[in-house]
Amino acid sequence: MKLNVTEIRKDFPILERETRSGVRLTYLDSTATSQKPLSVIQAMDDFYRRSNANIHRGVHTLAEESTALYESARDRIAKFINAGSARQIIYTRNTTESINLVAYSWARANLKQGDLVILTEMEHHSNLVPWHMLQAERGIELDFITVTEDGVLDLEVYKSLLSRRPKLVSFTHMSNVLGTVNPAAEMIKLAHEVDAIVLVDGAQSVPHLKVDVQALDADFYAFSAHKMCGPTGIGALYGKIELLEAMPPFLGGGDMIKEVKLRSFRANTLPHKFEAGTPAIAEAIGFGAAVDYLTKIGMENISAHEHEITEYALERLEEIPGLKLFGPSADKKGGVAAFTLDGIHPHDVAQILDQDGIAIRAGHHCAQPLHEKFGIPATSRASFYMYNTKEEVDLLVNGIYKVKETFK
């Protein structure tokens, strides 16, 4: 079904605002964070107005309502990615914390000096730094699947690395710079053939693709609410039950315990074992409202619309003299267009575009090694979501010509 983008845009109040330069906002930075529909904002507002109380502890009306709303959101998030059970959904602050949870709990219990962890050259820092830290602490080995010149993973290199029998493979489902959608199911299958555990960074994929963690057979899958129309400050880690049950707790404190004595404690059952302290209750409720909204629109419809916009954007951007695009063709990527402009720093590009109300990202996008791979310090990045239009792409292109004229 073709999206009615005009109607969808009405769901996002921020798209009606003017920027400080007095022009209508053109928001092309959803890879960093998406905008939020009114239904998400209202769900969180309703919670604070009507049901605000701590969860799992009280027996009064508000506490029971809060708990029901919080856990109902977990149920819907589980269904959204086709988890087998809501117990497999651990609330975290974001994708970064989800990856760190695996690194601190599963990896520190299972990896020893000399064990190999396979990553890729296109990883976000969130899927690099935790493993660097573990390498310094434990002496594990890290190796990397190379990225080709056209921005895809070299699977022959991957197969060669797998012959060394890694204990863990961790990779991004979709690159936040190149937009590359990696063949996750194939990569997971190959890893499992050598008995490796697989962690997938789904921060960019869950908002834009229909993700089925059971079909993928992922051992762990991490994602964030704020990139998928939900609030900031909350994310999720999906894990297979047998792995999560065997893992030690990540943080200690309230709610993650079943029993505490002066000299010992017993951890709670899943998922609460990994959720110490008062959680982000309103944000969890907003997260649930976000998956409701995405489900109503339809992930296949969102993906099809983004593909159409991205294909159009790449065609238009390729027309601009001196502009170099990074990443594969539109059929192999999500709604991302990263580029450089000859002789002009990406920060200058972004600042001049902002004068016309066009919001893009500029920098290394928390992927410094990838930029070093291509011999550049930074890129400009326009990213697209269900609420973006071809007219906004035209505004971007016209704005880039204005940048070129300014630096002529």
CATH of the domain at 317: 3.90.1150.10
Centroid of chain to Cα 95: 6
| Same-domain status, 364 and 273 | no
Domain ends where: 277, 296, 315? 296
- Is 391 contained in some domain? yes
- Is 92 contained in some domain? yes
- Is 350 contained in some domain? yes
**Measured between alpha carbons, how far is residue 344 from residues 33, 139, 357, 376 in Å?**
25, 42, 19, 12
| Same-domain status, 291 and 315 | no
| Same-domain status, 313 and 165 | no
- Is 35 contained in some domain? no
In the chain, the number of structural domains is 2
| Same-domain status, 114 and 131 | yes
| Same-domain status, 302 and 285 | no
| Same-domain status, 122 and 255 | yes
- What is the model's pLDDT at position 21? 83
Domain ends where: 252, 273, 296? 296
- What is the model's pLDDT at position 393? 98
- Is 304 contained in some domain? yes
- Is 36 contained in some domain? no
| Same-domain status, 202 and 278 | yes
- Residues 2 and 288: their CA atoms lie apart, in Å, by 25
Give the strands of the sheet with 220-224, arranged side by side: 89-92, 235-239, 220-224, 197-201, 168-172, 116-120, 141-145
| Same-domain status, 172 and 306 | no
- Residues 235 and 92: their CA atoms lie apart, in Å, by 5
| Same-domain status, 100 and 206 | yes
CATH of the domain at 204: 3.40.640.10
Q: Which residues are catalytic?
A: 366
| Same-domain status, 250 and 291 | yes
Q: What is the mean pLDDT of each run of 10 residues along the chain (408 residues)?
A: 95 95 95 98 98 93 97 98 98 98 98 98 98 98 98 98 98 98 98 98 98 98 98 98 96 90 93 96 98 98 98 98 98 98 97 97 97 96 98 98 94
- What is the model's pLDDT at position 408? 81
Closest CA to 287 of 119, 8, 81: 81
| Same-domain status, 323 and 233 | no
| Same-domain status, 287 and 311 | no
- Is 360 contained in some domain? yes
Domain ends where: 249, 269, 296? 296
Say whether pTM exceeds 0.75: yes
Length of the chain: 408
Domain enclosing residue 224, as ranges: 41-296
- Residues 353 and 359: their CA atoms lie apart, in Å, by 7
- Is 128 contained in some domain? yes
- Residues 238 and 198: their CA atoms lie apart, in Å, by 12
**Measured between alpha carbons, how far is residue 57 from residues 6, 54, 64, 78 in Å?**
44, 7, 9, 23
